[in-house]
């Protein structure tokens, strides 16, 4: 009697984009220090191995005064940092102050996969006034 063994090697292909990027709303004090870490992003990728590894990048930053430059940056592949001074609260017309909002478009993409699968999410960063006595 002969024994026959079959060995199968299954390789995962990059067929799933990252999804469920979080967080999408961030609240920070308007007097936060430059270079402060304000968030770490996570997403889900159902692929295995390198096909499931994700890095993040900012593809667009949008706010009222675009002359300020990039106020936020990604570091360590997933961490969001403050890169510049944030604006104070703005008047909403009735004598009260409303929070300043900054919007960035965040892209999540696979690492070392050609072509990478990507997805994007709009991230809103709101400032609040922290009173110091």
Tell if the pTM clears 0.75, that is, is over it. yes
* 19 pLDDT above the threshold of 60: yes
The highest-confidence range among 26-30, 35-39, 80-84, 112-116, by mean pLDDT, is 35-39
Residue 36 covered by a domain: yes
Residue 13 covered by a domain: no
Residue 97 covered by a domain: yes
The mean of the pLDDT values for the chain is 81
Query: What domain range includes position 78?
Result: 19-128
Task: Please indicate whether residue 108 or residue 51 has the higher confidence score (pLDDT).
Answer: 108
Could you give the number of structural domains in the chain?
1
Here the CATH number for the domain that contains residue 102 is 2.60.40.60
Q: What is the pLDDT of residue 132?
A: 62
* 68 pLDDT above the threshold of 60: no
pLDDT tens figures, 82-116: 988 876 556 556 555 666 888 899 999 988 777 88
Q: What is the pLDDT of residue 84?
A: 85
Closest CA to 125 of 108, 107, 109, 105: 105
């Amino acid at each position: 009697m002969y024994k026959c063994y079959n060995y199968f090697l299954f390789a995962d292909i990059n067929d799933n984009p990252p999804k469920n990027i979080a967080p999408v709303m961030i609240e920070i004090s308007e007097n936060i220090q430059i270079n402060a870490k304000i968030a770490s992003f996570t997403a889900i990728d159902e692929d295995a191995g390198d096909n499931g590894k994700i890095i993040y990048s900012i593809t667009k930053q949008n706010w009222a005064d675009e002359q300020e430059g990039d106020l936020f940056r990604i570091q360590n592949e997933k961490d969001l940092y403050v890169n510049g001074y944030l604006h104070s609260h703005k008047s909403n017309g009735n004598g009260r102050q409303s929070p300043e909002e900054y919007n960035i478009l965040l892209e999540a993409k696979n690492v070392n996969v050609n072509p990478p699968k990507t997805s994007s999410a709009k991230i809103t960063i709101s400032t609040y006034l922290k009173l110091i006595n």
